Amino acid sequence: GGSNLSGDAYRRQHEITVTGDEVPLPFSSFEATGFPSEILREVYSAGFSAPTPIQAQSWPIALQGRDIVAIAKTGSGKTLGYLIPGFMHLKRCHKDPRMGPTVLVLSPTRELATQIQDEAIKFGKSSRISSTCLYGGAPKGPQLRDIERGVDIVVATPGRLNDILEMSRISLHQVSYLVLDEADRMLDMGFEPQIRKIVKEVPTRRQTLMYTATWPKEVRKIAADLLVNPIQVNIGNID
Ligand code: ADP
Ligand code: MG
């Protein structure tokens, strides 16, 4: 257990390095997060005993409304690292979902997008947060109906979301919390043009979070273009 470690000791123990201005200290326990009881209930009933390092360091940054670029390997708990602060963001702004989503998560594949939405459902249900998933290889009809009915969170692959945007069947003008998950993989798959078109439809006054397993120059470039004064968080020995 490390709940009584100082922030620096916690970072050393978990190989967390941070770069940026006024980086808040990690939350080494769930109690330290200040998340509302309905969210804490969900994480405890999932059997989790403590935040993962990426969560411990991402949460205080994201809750402050800061942009983040996080470099961490697969299986480190990144999904809840951005979803729970997204839930808090939704609670604060309580916008009408029929006017469009507030939280937008871009993910490289149908499989990953579906997994993210499953977590959004599981952990967001008690907070009455609605979500849908948009991906290719499936009929557009049901996806368009979900958008029309209105959802707080859209999880989408860039290709399908861009198709739906070109049909003028979704508005991104309410999006104020944008996540690019597995950014390196999305770029490897050739999604950069679609990502850039999508981001043009999102207001510049927003919070942007980017998660990636690697940090090559293409990812650095898109981070430099889309994020504002981000805090960079690295977990483990990734350069
Ligand atoms: P990543 O996106 O970094 O690959 P995921 O967000 O998919 O990782 O999380 C990997 C697994 O860890 C999932 O099954 C998730 O439910 C679980 N998990 C998330 N947070 C915690 C936690 N704090 N403690 C234990 N398991 C967790
Ligand atoms: Mg992931």
pLDDT digits (tens, 9 = 90+) for 163-204: 999 999 999 999 999 999 999 999 999 999 999 999 999 999
pLDDT band for position 145 (cuts 50, 70, 90): very high
The verdict on the CB of residue 185 being under 6 Å from ligand 1 is no
In whole angstroms, what separates CA 85 from the centre of its chain? 8
pLDDT band for position 5 (cuts 50, 70, 90): low
The proportion of the chain whose per-residue pLDDT surpasses 70, expressed as a percent, equals 97
pLDDT band for position 60 (cuts 50, 70, 90): very high
Measured in degrees and rounded to the nearest 5, phi and psi for residue 60 equal: -65, -30
The reported pLDDT for the residue numbered 94 is 84
pLDDT > 70? residue 2: no
- 97-126: average pLDDT: 97
Coil, helix or strand for 235? strand
pTM: 0.96
Q: 99 Cβ partners below 8 Å, 6+ apart?
A: 150, 171, 173, 174
The residue whose two tokens read 């049909």 is 167
Burial of 190 (0-12, 13-18, 19+ CB in 10 A): exposed
| Ligand 1 atom at minimal distance to the Cα of residue 81 | 6
The reported pLDDT for the residue numbered 239 is 52
In whole angstroms, what separates CA 188 from the centre of its chain? 19
The verdict on the CB of residue 214 being under 6 Å from ligand 1 is no
Which two structure tokens, joined as six digits, stand for 219?
A: 């990812």
Q: Which residues of 44-83 are buried (b: 16+ CB within 10 A; e: fewer)?
A: eeeeeebbbbbbbbbbbbbbeebbbbbbbeeebbbbbbbb
Which two structure tokens, joined as six digits, stand for 205?
A: 């006054």
Question: Which ipTM value was assigned to this complex?
Answer: 0.99
The verdict on the CB of residue 80 being under 6 Å from ligand 1 is yes
Average pLDDT of the residues of the chain: 95
pLDDT > 50? residue 1: no
pLDDT > 50? residue 53: yes
Question: Per-residue pLDDT tens for 68-86?
Answer: 999 999 999 999 999 999 9
Instruction: Among 48, 57, 107, 186, say which to mutate for ligand 1: greatest number of ligand atoms within 8 Å of CB.
Output: 48
